[in-house]
Amino acid sequence: MSVRGTVKALPTLLRVAFAEAVAYRAEMLVWVLATTMPLVMLALFSAVAEGGPLGRFGQAEFIAYFLATFVVRQLTGSWASWQINFEVREGTLATRLLRPIHPLLGYAVENIAAMPMRVAVSVPVAIVALALVGGRAVAHSAGAWLLFLPALVGGWLLTLLANFIVGALALFMESSVKVMDIYLAAYFVASGYLVPVELFPPGARAVIDWLPFRYQIGFPVELMTGAYDGTLTTAVALLARQWVMVCAFAAAAAWVWSRGIRRFSAYGG
């Protein structure tokens, strides 16, 4: 299908995908409830901060950080890996291959279509965060907020592409769900989801800086909570690194998918 034809098909795809998201809103609620670990960590670190701040984090800063983490997690999450595994196992991927758009674009559109429901969850949390901490624990730099949007989009793309890559491995093995579980375990530890990356020892931070996990969620959260208000040059460098990773993940996803789909077709998929 041509690029022009794909663009013309996108509004219809979005409407259909949004209708499906609304139809399965109970599953969406379960997914939201499954991502509340930052709220648990908020209670834990707020108690720790009663004895004094940790780095730049006092109680207000921890409240802002973990509520921002919850919001960013809602806006950057993806379930494409589990969806691909299911469709490969059930054989319904063959039907998707008959559609006039690339399957990976189809998964991305379905993810985007669920955004309004995620925003409906995220906005009240953001309002609560502002009510609790005011403006003192969020970014004051206009530059940080300008960088936030591309950082958020980059975080979403990294998460989506990681899901594509791991999901496509199901075309080579019985299931790649366990691989995704391992990826998620590393993500929870190294992304800033459970513990701010700034609180890791310098050696661990140096390693995390070159892994994708921080750029999926921690970096946008850091921009929101003022970590780079006085060091925008550092933030720009991290943003550039994030988007280099996005390009690398996109190339890897295309490579794995193209080889996996040949194997799927060869065996009668």
What is the per-residue pLDDT across 139-175, written as a single tens digit (0 to 9) for each?
Answer: 888 899 999 999 999 999 999 999 999 999 999 988 8
* Encoded amino acid at 145, one letter: W
Which percentage of the chain shows pLDDT scores above 70? 85
| Residue 128 pLDDT > 70 | yes
Q: Is 268 exposed, middle or buried (0-12, 13-18, 19+ CB in 10 A)?
A: exposed
The stretch 41-58 carries a mean pLDDT of: 83
Q: Is the pLDDT of residue 133 over 80?
A: no
Q: Is 229 helix (H, G, I), strand (E, B) or coil?
A: coil
Q: What is the model's pTM? A: 0.85
Residue 93 CA to residue 105 CA, distance in Å, equals 14
pLDDT of residue 35: 65
Overall average pLDDT of the 11-29 stretch: 55
pLDDT of residue 3: 54
Q: Is the pLDDT of residue 268 over 70?
A: no
pLDDT value, residue 249: 97
Domain positions in the chain are 3-266
